[in-house]
Amino acid sequence: ESLERFHKIDVLVLNHILYEIKLWQADRNYSDIAKAFNVNVISYIELATLFLPSLQASRGRLLIISSGLGLVTYPYFALYCSNKHALHGFFNALRQEIALKGNRMSVTISVLGAVATDNALKAGSGNPVAGSNGWSRLSSVDASSVAVEASLHRERQIYFPYFLKLHEIGSAHFPVLTEWLIRYVYNLDV
C-alpha cells in the first residue's frame, strides 16, 4: 500500500520488538519462541525485502534499530539476544550483497543501549538486570536523533552510547571477564 501511495521509498526505518525479560526455562512454550522470531526478525526481513527494489532504485537508506544485546549477551535476555544477533547477521550480509551489485543504497544498524520507552520500563520492572539502577536509560529523543543522523550520513553501524563499542570489543576479546563483569555489576550470583 505504501509503494502504491508514494511510488518510491527513500528511507525505511525498522524499529519494532516483542520484548521478554526472564530466565530461560527448559519447559518453554515453543510458540512463544516462534512469535518472538516472527516479530523481531522475520518481519524485519520481510519488510526490507518488500521495499528493497524501491530503496535500491532511489539509492535509499535502510535503518535497522537494534540493541547492544545483538552484540553482547546478558542473562534474562536469551531470546531477545538471539533475535538481535540474527538481525545483525542478516543485515550485515544484505549490505554486502547490495554492494556486490554496485548499488549505493545504504544499510545502517543502530546499536542502542537501554532506551526509556514506556514498554521497556514496564517490561523491566522488577527484573534484576533491566530494572536495576545500574542500567541507565537513554532518552528516546536522543536515541532516535542519533540513529536518523547516522542513516543520513550512510554510516555502516553506530553505537549509542559509544561505550557499547567498547563492550563489544571486550566481549569479543575477553568473553569470560565480560560475562563475569555483567553478573557482578547486576549483583547476580558471581
Distances (CA, A) of 75 to 5, 21, 31, 63, 80: 44, 9, 21, 27, 10
* Interatomic CA distance for residues 110 and 183, integer angstroms: 25
Task: Single out the residue of 110, 120, 121 nearest to residue 144, CA to CA.
Answer: 110
Burial (CB count within 10 angstroms: exposed 0-12, middle 13-18, buried 19+), residue 30: exposed
Give dist(CA 65, CA 140) in Å, integer: 12
CA atoms within 13 A on the CB side of 136: 6
Active site residue 80: yes
Catalytic annotation, pick one of 80, 159, 162, 186 = 80
Q: Would the CA dihedral through 185, 81, 154, 96 be positive or negative? A: positive
Q: Could you list the active site residues? A: 80
